[in-house]
Structure 1
Amino acid sequence: MNKIIVTDRRGARFGDFYGIFFEDLNHAADGGLYAETIRNRSFEFSPIDDPTYNGLTAWTAYEPEGTKVSLSVSRKAPASERAPHYLVLDVITDGTAAGVKNEGYNSGIPLYMGKSYKLKLRARADKETAVKVSIVSAVGDVYDSASFMLGSEWSEYSAVLTAAKDDHSARLLISMDTTGRACFDFISLFPEDTYRGRENGLRRDIAEYLEALHPKFMRFPGGCLIHDGSLNKDDRDSTYRWKNTLGDVMNRPPRRNNWRYNQTLGLGYYEYFLFCEDIGAEPLPVLPAGYNPHSGQGVPIDELGEWIDDALDLIEFANGGIDTEWGGVRASLGHPEPFGLKYIAIGNEEVGQGFFDRYDYFHKAIRDRYPEIKIINSAGPFNHGSEYDRGWASAKKNGSDIIDEHYYMTPEWFITNYDRYADFPADGTKVFLGEYASWGNKYYNAVAEAAFMTGLENAAHAVELVCYAPLLCNAQYVNWEPDMIWFDNHRVFGSANYYVQKLFMNNLPTYLLETEKEGLDSCRVIGPETIGGGLEITADRCSARFYDIKVTDIETGACIPCVDMALENESREIGSIDSRHYTVEFTAVRNYGDLGFKLAFAVRGEKDRIVWSIGGWQNQDCCIDKFEGHASCLTQSRFSVETGVEYKLKLEIDGRHITTYVNGVKMNDVEDRRQVNEELYFTAGIDDNTGEVIVKAVNVNETPVTAAVQCPFEGRVTAAVTELSGYGKDDMNSFEEPKKVYPTQKTVTGENGAIEYEFPPLCVTIFRIAKLENT
C-alpha cells in the first residue's frame, strides 16, 4: 500500500505565508474594485494615458428633438488646481432637456432595483441655471433624478438616486431645459452598498471574493506602475507616488497608468490600508527607488533624499503616533490608531545596477530608523540569471529580510520545479514569491500550480511570503492573462486558479510537519531525453547578416553545412540535429533596427522549441526561453546589440545543459530539467488552533492513485475533505459557467490514524484530519 506518512516532527512556522497582490492593470481599480461607476469623472483623460483618449472620453452630447448642445473641456479658473480640467456644456437651443451623458464602464452603469446611489458633482453656471441629473436607460427611460440650481461660483452638489429597475447598461444624464452655459467637474456616482459601507469605497462583490481567500497580506500598488514613468512626482506620467493618493478625492491629481489608461487614484493608500484592516491582511506596500528600469533613468544619488523620505514617511503614516507629522495626517483622515505596518518593499522586478546602487541607501535609512520593519529587496522578473543573481547579491550584502522573486512559466515548468526551494538555506534572506502564474486559467494550470504550492509549503524554512498574480481583470479591458478573478460591470467569477489559491490559503497550518512516503515511486518521465531538433535563425525587428554558420555534433565530429544569409524581420531554418552534445556557432551583424538576433533550437513545432534571444526585450536581454505552448524564461543576462558591431555567437548543448557565449564570454548557463511527474505531490502541517492535521495532495497525472494518509494519531480518525477533481485539463470557469470548476466536500474516516483514499486523476485534495473522540 502506498503511504503518505505524516510525522509529529515540526518544521517551519507559517506566518503570513499566503497573500494577494493588487496591481492596477486590466482596470483592476477604476472600473473594477473601486466602486465608482462614472468613467472619466473629472474630464482628465488624456492622450498621455492612451492615444485614443481625450477630455470627453465616455461622455456624449444628448440632443433630443432637434436640440443642439456643444461640449468642450477647459481648465480656466478650475475647481481644483491639481485636477484642473472640467466640462463646459453649452445648450444652444431651448426645448426638451438637452445635455450630456456618461456611458460608464463596460456596457454601462450597473443599477439594481431599489438600491441607492450617491451622486456628487461640482458645478457652476454663467447665470442662475436649473439642471437635472438622472440615471436613465440606454434609450433614455428615466429611473430617478435630482435637480439643482447652479450659481456662478463652483459649489458641490449631492443627492441620493434610487434605481427603479435592474439595468446593467444605464447612463448618467445631465440636462438643462433652457439655453445657457454650465460647467461641471468631478461627477461621481457610487453605489451606497459598497464593501463594509465605506465612503469612496470598494465594489462589494469583488471585495468579498478577495476577503474569502483569507489573505494574510496584501501587496500594493504594483507592479511596473510603481517605477515606470517620469521621475518628477508632479508630471502627468510620473511613477506612482503614494502622497499623491491621499486626501480629498476631488483634488487627487490624475496620472497615466503604464498599462495605457487613466488612474484617478481614487483607490489610494488610505483606502488600501483600510481594506487591509477590513480583511485582516497585513499591508505590504511597494515603493520606487528613484530608478526606472524601463528607460534606464535614475535620480542622481545625491538627490535621493525626497524618495527615501517618501519611504520613511509612509512608515510614519502607517505606524506613527498622532503627534507625528504623518501619523497626524492619518488621524486627520479618520484613523488615529496605527495600521501596524510590518513590511515595506523597495522596487519591483528591478534590473540593472542603477537600482541596486540606490537600494543601499533606502535599506540603511529604513533599518536605522525602523529596525522592526522587514525590508524586501527585488530579484527581478526572472527565475535565474544575471539580474536574479544581482538581486540576491544585494540582499545578502545589505541583510535584506526578504527578496521578491517573480516568474510566469508553463504548467510543465511548475511541475518540474516543484522542489525549487527545497535546498535554499533556512537562515538569511527569505523568499517572497511575489508574482507567479502558469500562463492560463484552465483547470490543468490550476492543478500544476497546486503541485508547485506543495513544494512552497515544504520549503517554508526558506519561503516566507507567496502571492499569485495578476489578481483582477475586467474582461473588457484586458492587459494581461491569466488572472485570478474576472469581472465586468455587474458580474464576477473566480478562475480555477482562484479555487486552488482559496483551498491552500484557507487551509494554512500553523507549523509544517515533516512527511515521509512508502511506495509512490512510479514516476512518469515526459518528453525527449535530448535537446535536439530543428535550428532556425531570426533577425528580430532588425536587418542583419549571418555568416560563418557552423553546426557541430561533438559526439561524432560531424558538421552540418550552412550558407551565409541576410535577413530582415524574418526567420530561416539552417538544419536539424539530434545529439546529446553539439554546438551551433555563427557571426551576426545588425545593419539597422532596434532589437537583435534569435537562434531557435530543439524545434519540433511553432510552439515547441527553445529560443536563445540576443538583444531581446527593449534590447536589454540575452535570454533562453523554452516554449511549451507558452514560454518559460529559463535564464536571462543583461546584453544589448549595437548596430554595425560583429558578434561571434555560440550555443553549446551538453545533455540537458545549455550554455551560450557572446564573443567568447559566457552569457547563459542553465539546466533544462526534464519533466518527471511524481505519483503525488503532498505537504502536511498542524493547525494549533484546532489540533487538526492538514494534508494537501495533488495528482497531476491522468490516472488515479490509491494511498493511505497516515497521521500521528492513534485510533479512529475523521477527515473533512475538500477536493477539486473530475474536470478535463481544458475546463475553465466563465461568466456563463462561473462554477464549472468548483470544490466539493465530504467526510471520510479511518482506523489506526490512517485514511485510505483513492486520489482521482488531476485532483487537488485537502484533508483536515482529527482524532475521533471516545475511540
Structure 2
Amino acid sequence: MNSPQLVPGTKLGAPLNDLFGIFFEDINHAADGGLYAEMVQNRSFEFAPIDNETYQPTTAWKLSDPASLKVTDKDSLNIKNRHYLEVNAQQDVDITNLGFNRGMYIEAGKRYHFSFFVKTLNGRKNVNVHLTDKVGNDVAVPTVISVESHQWLKYTADLDGNQTTTEGRLTLKFEQGTHLLVDMISLFPDDTFNHRPNYVRKDLGETLKALHPKFLRFPGGCLVHDGQLDPDDRGSMYRWKNSIGPVEQRPARRNNWGYNQTLGLGYFEYFELSEDIGAKPLPVLPGGYDPHHDREAPIDQLGEWIDDALDLIEFANGSTATKWGKIRANLGHPKPFNLEYLAIGNEEVGQAFFDRYPYFHKAIKAKYPEIKLINTAGPFAAGKEFDRGWKSAQDNHSDLVDEHYYMDPEWFLANQHRYDSYDPNGPKAFLGEYASKANQWYNAVVEASYMIGLERNADKVGLACYAPLFCNVDYENWGTDLIYFDQKEVSPTVNYFVQQLFMKYQGTDNVYYQLKDLPKAKVVDDQPIVGKFFIQGDKARAKFENIVLDDGHQKQKFGSQTVDHEEKIELGSTDATDYTITFDVTKTDQDSKGTHFCFGQQESDKWFVWILGGWANTDSMVRVHHGKADSDWTQTTWSMAKGRTYHCKLVVDDRRVQTFIDGQLFNDVVIASTVIEPVYTNMTYDRNTKQYYFKVVNVTKQPRAIMVDSDQFSNGSVYQLSGHPDAENKLGTNNQITTNRQPFNGQKLTLPPYSVTVLISPHRLDQTK
C-alpha cells in the first residue's frame, strides 16, 4: 500500500488566536499545599469543621502542653483573621507545624523566610524558632526572636538549611512565664518562582511556563460559585476582593473540595502568574447563583455582583488614576494586566443563572465593549441544559460559551467532527474543561487527535484547556490531572507533553493543504444497541414495576424488582434493533441519589445506562459505561422524589436513544460510532517565527508514513512523542514516553504506533498568502 502524500500549502485559513491554554482550580490541594509556596499548614489557626468535619483550629499543629496553648478570638489580629494562639506558659512549651504531605521539604544550602505576628502581654520575651526533621533534629541554624511590643507586630527571620529532609517541621519554643499572642505563622522558600514574595513554588511555576500556554483560566471551577451569597460569610463563594491585599487580612474560607482555602494565592498573584508564564489572564466570576445549593441573589440586588465584575476589569486594566487601578499599583504593579477575557459563571444549570447573566453582560459591554465575555453551557456535552446555555449566549451575543466534558477515549474518537457543524458566525466554543479520564499514553494520544479537530475548527473554537491542572499526590479529589507533585518534586503526566507540543507549536493561522491517498477510516463500533438489560441501584432503594419489553413483534413482561444501594438485578435480553422498554419506578427512601436502568450489554464491561437521579439527584442522563470510564452523552435536569411513582419509557432505534418520563421527552441522542482515522492531521503557520507546523497523530498500533511532496519542510525538523499505550508517569520515575527531535530530510515522515508528531519548517520560510 502506498503511503499518503502531503502536499503542503501556503494559503492561510482561520486564525488560531489564543486557542490552547491552561486552567487552574484549587482542587487536589493545588493552591495551599501546592502551587502556593507557603509551607505552614493552618498558619492562622482558622481551620474549622465547615472546611472539613475533621478540622479544628489546631489541625496540622502539635502542642506540647494544650493547657498552656489555646486558640481564641478575643483580641484578634483583625476582623478577617479572628483566631490566634494564646501562649500562657506555666512551663517551657512548644508548638510544631507538620506542614503538608509527610512534612516540609527543607534543603541544605537553601534559605527560608520565617514570619509571624505577635504581641506580648507580660514584657519582653524570646521565641526560639527551629526547623527540624521528623524526630526533632535541627536541619537549619535556629534563631531567636525577641518580642517586646504590646501591639500586634510582624517579626521576620531567615533560616538557612544545613541538612535535607522531606519530613521537616517548624517548631516555636516558649520559655516558662511567657504570655503572648501568636498568629500568621509562615515559612516560605527564598527561591519562589521569579523570586516574588507570597508567591508560587519555583518548580511548579517553571512547569507551567514550559507549557507555553496562551491563557490561564482561574480560580475555578466549582469553587467559584459554591457557597453563601454574603462575601463576609465563612462559607462564602469565591469573591475576588477578599483575595487581594495583605495576606493577614484575607479571610480564610471553605473550599468546596473538602479543605481550607487561605486565599494567600489570590487574584493579584494569579494576574502576576499569568504575566510570568506568558499567558493571558482569564478570570471566572460568580453570577450571583449557587447551583449546588440553589442560592440566588435577588435580581434587584445584583448590583454588588455586577460591580465586582466592573471593578475587576478596572483593577486589571485601569490607569493609576482610577480607584482600582491605584490599588493595583499600590500592590506593586502600576502597569495594567491587559485583561481581554472574563467569564461569568461556571457549569451553571437551571434558569436562575440565565435570568441573571444578561444583567452582567449588558453592564460590562456598556462600559467595556472590548472585553470578551464568556457564558456557560453546564457540565455536560449535550442535552437541555447545554442547549439552554448556548441559547443564552446567542440571545445575549456572548463572545464565547464555556463547554465542559470528561469522557472515555471512545467518545473523543466518535466525536472528532463535533465542531465541524458549529456556526462560525455565532459565539465561539470555549472548551474550558476536558480530559479522557486517565493519565496513560493512549489517552493522551486520543486527546491529541481531538486537539487536531479543535485546531481545524479554530473559526468556531476560540479557547481550550485540559483539566484539572494540578494534583498533590497525598490529597487527591479528582483522579486524572495534568501535573502531579508532592512537597519535594513534580511529575508531569504523559498528557502534559501532548498539551505542551500543541501549545508550543500552535501557530497563529491554519493553512490549507492536501493529504492524498489516505486510507479509509476504520469503524470500530457501529452495531445497534442490543443485548442484556438490567436495573442497578445508585445509592438509593428503588422499586421497579410493570416492566415491559416491546420489540415490535411481541411484548414481554417482567416481575417487580427492588434494588438497593448499588445492587444489580438482570431482567432479560433482546436482539431487536428497534425496541421499547416501559416501567414504573418509585424511590422508597430519602437518599439523595436515584437509580439506573441499564441496557445494550453485549460485553462484560460495556453497557448503556439511563440514569434517573444522578449526581445529587439532579439529572436524567444517557451514559455509556465502559470498563472503569463513563461517558455521559446527554443530560436534562430532573430529580427523583421519594414515594412518587414515575412512568418511564426507553426507546432504542439502532443507535438512537430516547427517554420519556410521564410522557415527556427528556433525552434524545444518537450514540455515534467509534471511528479511527489512519492519521489525524492539521497544518498551521506561525507569523512570529515564520515557520509552518504539520501535526500528525497516530492512535493505532500500526506504524504509518507520510510522503512530503514539497521542499517546504526540507532542512526542517521533527519533534515526536511516542510510547506504549499503557505508559504512565509516576512521581519519582523518569518520563515513560519517548521524546525525539531530529532533522527532516524532506521526503518521508515516519510515524510510530501511538505517536504525536509535529513537522517543523526551517525559519527562513515566509511564503504565506
Does the alignment reach a TM-score above 0.5? yes
In structure 1, the partner of 2:727 is 731
In structure 2, the partner of 1:560 is 556
What are the equivalent positions in structure 2 for 1:190-589 lying under 5 Å apart? Answer: 190-527=188-525, 529-554=527-552, 557-569=553-565, 570-589=567-586
Quote the Cα distance in structure 1 between the aligned partners of 2:568 and 2:209.
49
- Deviation track 1:694-749 (CA, whole Å, cap 9, x = no partner) reads 011011111111221345x56x7123111111x22111111232312242211121
- Deviation track 1:397-436 (CA, whole Å, cap 9, x = no partner) reads 0000111100000011112212211121211201111100
In structure 1, the partner of 2:654 is 655
Shift of 1:597: 2.9
- Deviation track 1:81-133 (CA, whole Å, cap 9, x = no partner) reads 21110112343325xxx301101111111111111111110112332321111
Q: Secondary structure at the match of 1:394?
A: helix
Return 596-605 or 283-292, whichever deviates more: 596-605
Quote the Cα distance in structure 1 between the aligned partners of 2:254 and 2:359.
28
- Deviation track 1:527-557 (CA, whole Å, cap 9, x = no partner) reads 3612112111234333332211111223xx1
In structure 1, the partner of 2:117 is 122
CA contact (8 A) 1:12 1:460 kept: yes
Q: Secondary structure at the match of 1:19?
A: strand
In structure 1, the partner of 2:156 is 158
Quote the Cα distance in structure 1 between the aligned partners of 2:680 and 2:39.
45
CA contact (8 A) 1:50 1:261 kept: yes
Percent identity of paired positions between Structure 1 and Structure 2: 44
CA contact (8 A) 1:418 1:453 kept: no
In structure 1, the partner of 2:61 is 59
CA contact (8 A) 1:123 1:184 kept: yes
Shift of 1:149: 2.1
Shift of 1:500: 0.2
Q: Secondary structure at the match of 1:231?
A: coil
Q: Does 1:106 find its partner at 2:106?
A: no
Q: Does 1:641 find its partner at 2:633?
A: no
Q: Does 1:47 find its partner at 2:46?
A: no
Shift of 1:653: 1.1
Q: Secondary structure at the match of 2:11?
A: strand
Shift of 1:771: 8.4
CA contact (8 A) 2:467 2:481 kept: yes
Would the alpha carbon gap of residues 238 and 606 (structure 1) be closer, same or farther in structure 2, given more than 3 Å must change? farther
In structure 1, the partner of 2:680 is 681
CA contact (8 A) 1:496 1:742 kept: no
Return 656-665 or 220-229, whichever deviates more: 656-665
In structure 1, the partner of 2:82 is 84
Shift of 1:42: 0.5
Quote the Cα distance in structure 2 between the aligned partners of 1:176 and 1:69.
14
Would the alpha carbon gap of residues 772 and 748 (structure 1) be closer, same or farther in structure 2, given more than 3 Å must change? farther
Would the alpha carbon gap of residues 358 and 671 (structure 1) be closer, same or farther in structure 2, given more than 3 Å must change? same
- Deviation track 1:314-363 (CA, whole Å, cap 9, x = no partner) reads 00111111111111111111212111110100000010000000001000
Would the alpha carbon gap of residues 229 and 469 (structure 1) be closer, same or farther in structure 2, given more than 3 Å must change? same
In structure 2, the partner of 1:632 is 631
In structure 2, the partner of 1:189 is 187
Quote the Cα distance in structure 2 between the aligned partners of 1:3 and 1:325.
60
CA contact (8 A) 2:690 2:764 kept: no
- Deviation track 1:542-586 (CA, whole Å, cap 9, x = no partner) reads 3332211111223xx133331122333333111112232111111
Quote the Cα distance in structure 2 between the aligned partners of 1:336 and 1:668.
52
RMSD: 1.6
Quote the Cα distance in structure 2 between the aligned partners of 1:324 and 1:770.
47
Shift of 1:480: 0.5
Quote the Cα distance in structure 1 between the aligned partners of 2:515 and 2:10.
14
Quote the Cα distance in structure 2 between the aligned partners of 1:380 and 1:480.
18
Shift of 1:609: 1.2
In structure 2, the partner of 1:756 is 748
Return 406-415 or 561-570, whichever deviates more: 561-570
Amino acid at match of 1:664: G
Q: Secondary structure at the match of 1:718?
A: coil
Shift of 1:153: 2.9
Shift of 1:6: 2.8
Amino acid at match of 1:736: G
Shift of 1:62: 3.9
CA contact (8 A) 2:128 2:143 kept: yes
> Where do 5+ consecutive residues of structure 2 fail to align?
none
TM-score (normalizing by structure 1): 0.95
Quote the Cα distance in structure 2 between the aligned partners of 1:288 and 1:451.
33
Quote the Cα distance in structure 1 between the aligned partners of 2:602 and 2:113.
59
Quote the Cα distance in structure 2 between the aligned partners of 1:487 and 1:84.
32
Number of matched pairs: 757
TM-score (normalizing by structure 2): 0.96
Quote the Cα distance in structure 1 between the aligned partners of 2:406 and 2:604.
20
> Where do 5+ consecutive residues of structure 1 fail to align?
none
CA contact (8 A) 1:319 1:341 kept: yes
- Deviation track 1:114-162 (CA, whole Å, cap 9, x = no partner) reads 1111111011233232111111111111222221222333221111110
